Amino acid sequence: MAEIKKGDRAADFSVKSLAGETVTLSAFKGKVVLLDFWASWCEPCKQELPLLDKLAPRLKEQGIEILTVNIDDHQQNAADFIRSHGLKLTVALDAKQSIVGKYEPPKMPSSFAIDRQGVVRAINAGFEVGDEKKIEQQLASIASK
């Protein structure tokens, strides 16, 4: 399966969330989405997720959703991390690697900024503190078009 690049249509998927609900990317059609891949063993991910969680309510007001995809083999690791940090982000579980296999993120974490038409407009590989500002501006720019 070829990796998804900037300008490609985002690949739809249907998996269970940490909350036990079915999550599909197509359910977010008409919204700008930040699709963020992470794992509990990834140190930069541990820095990024709490910052994304803080951004989420402000972005939601602009019609922007954050959907995180956890690639841990053991979903309990993801559940423990989310609970211990009190995060409210939607977490899609990808233990079977079906989503990550379609997107092939370049690093952990990686996020894909997807426009209202379902096209990938930007890919953010890796994360350092401060990148959340760049990501917020990027999403706001996509949402304003």
Catalytic residue among 18, 23, 35, 45: 45
Catalytic residue among 18, 42, 64, 114: 42
Round to whole Å and give the CA distance between 76 and 65.
24
Q: What is the DSSP string of 73-119?
A: SSHHHHHHHHHHHT---EEEE-TT-HHHHHH--SSSSEEEEE-TTSB
Q: Is 54 one of the annotated active-site residues of the chain?
A: no
What type of residue sits at position 123?
I
**CA 38 to mean position of chain CA atoms:** 8
For the CA atoms of the chain, what is the radius of gyration?
A: 14
Distances from the Cα of 93 to the Cα of 71, 96, 112, angstroms: 7, 8, 17
Given the structure tokens 């990027």, which residue do they identify?
138
Q: Is 82 one of the annotated active-site residues of the chain?
A: no
Active site (catalytic) residues: 42, 45
